[in-house]
A and B are shown apart, each in its own frame.
Chain A
Amino acid sequence: MSGKVTNEAGGSGEGGSGGRELDAAFFARWMTASADAVAREADRLTELDSAIGDADHGGNMRRGFEAVRGELAEEVPGTPGAVLMTAGRKLVSTVGGASGPLYGTLLRRTGKALGSAERVSGEDLADALRTGIDAVAQLGGAAAGDKTMLDALFPAVAALADSGGEDFGAARDAAERGAEETVPMQARKGRASYLGERSIGHRDPGATSAALLVAALAEADGAEGGTAGSQENDSSGSE
């Protein structure tokens, strides 16, 4: 499923450019896949955070995304934008650490940028994500190279935009590379920045969780590529 491009198989899907039409169910799948990934990797996130932070990133992210999963299991909002805004709001109110407002802002601003459309293209998503990521940068006062989640998100959205919103696999790979590249960086924002040079040599937990979210996006996309929008409510497992 790596980098699946829907219209490379059979050509013109519907009468126009770009392949995808991403609906609310797709975005709910993305959030659920994110919750799965965060739960799976929570111990690793906490381990990374214990090296340069306060060892709560895995637990905080899991608490937040399980709350998102629970919310979406009850009801999936009608539009892509509303799904992300609901999820972002839930993260702000449940995470309890800095990742709450940061990821909450990412999803809320991305969702707001998607507007009230019932279906969006991959290109729309790339544009909206850029808006969301810029809002995160502004909130945290951080830039590329500061050893933060932005070091995974900036390359991911660039890869997605470069492919015209088509190549989710490339976005996933770019995020993963970006997270790996935080290892030699010195932290300039957040708790890790107090460590100064001692933050060098550790992979950033926030960049790592950001890469998980982008991987979940590619995974949600892969699931969709299989059949044309049949499997609706696969993972409603109550939490």
Chain B
Amino acid sequence: MGVSDVAQADGSKRVGIVLVSHSKEVADSVARLAAGLAGVPDARVAGAGGLPDGGLGTSEELIVEAAHRMDEGAGVALLVDLGSAVLTVKTLLAEGDELPEPARLVDAPLVEGAVAAVVTAAGGGDLAAVASAAEEAYTYRKL
């Protein structure tokens, strides 16, 4: 579910962000959390979680669909949880032409990375900037 499907009023293109989790609830909730914490209600961020039937797993179909829905032409950053989510996105990037161009798998913690990505994308950052902001989230120590 996209938080918003409306392009920015000034016409500038924002990087789309797709959150891939084994769980639909996790993916959609993290998308809402990131948009909320970032204070960007119309953020281009969507969850692609679970299987089409709602069960736990990774669905290529849901990922591709969300990536196209979030794409405004500035590229799409994909953040993932683990295991098959990582492998499925890697496979899509290596083999297929299903994802919008450019698309990038971002090596980041899902929740913290999503917040950083949304803030950066909303500020007009390009795909490289969004990816690097999300990756930097690994360095935020909590102790």
Chain B residues lying within 8 Å of A99, measured Cβ to Cβ, are: 84
Chain A residues lying within 8 Å of B90, measured Cβ to Cβ, are: 101, 139
Chain B residues lying within 8 Å of A101, measured Cβ to Cβ, are: 84, 87-88, 90-91
Greatest chain B CB density within 10 A among A96, A99, A105 is at: A96
B101 at the interface (CB under 8 A from A): no
Contact between chains at A100 and B84 (CB < 8 Å): yes
Greatest chain A CB density within 10 A among B51, B57, B59, B95 is at: B95
B76-115 at interface with A (beta carbon < 8 Å)? 83-84, 87-88, 90-92, 94-95
Chain A residues lying within 8 Å of B91, measured Cβ to Cβ, are: 92, 101, 104-105, 139
A40 at the interface (CB under 8 A from B): no
Chain B residues lying within 8 Å of A60, measured Cβ to Cβ, are: 57
- Closest beta carbon of chain A to B56's beta carbon, Å: 8
Say what secondary structure dominates the interface of chain B. helix
- B contact residues, total (Cβ < 8 Å): 16
Chain B residues lying within 8 Å of A70, measured Cβ to Cβ, are: none
Residues of A near any B CB (own CB < 8 A):
56, 60, 92-93, 96-102, 104-105, 108, 139-140, 190-191
Chain B residues lying within 8 Å of A102, measured Cβ to Cβ, are: 87
B60 at the interface (CB under 8 A from A): yes
Across the two chains, which residue of chain A brings its CB closest to B59?
Answer: A96
Nearest 8 pairs between A and B by C-beta? A96-B57, A101-B91, A98-B84, A101-B87, A93-B60, A101-B88, A97-B84, A96-B51
Starting from the known contacts A100-B58, A104-B95, A105-B95, 12 additional A-B residue pairs (CB-CB under 8 Å) come to: A60-B57, A92-B60, A92-B88, A92-B95, A97-B83, A98-B83, A100-B87, A101-B87, A101-B88, A104-B91, A140-B87, A191-B83
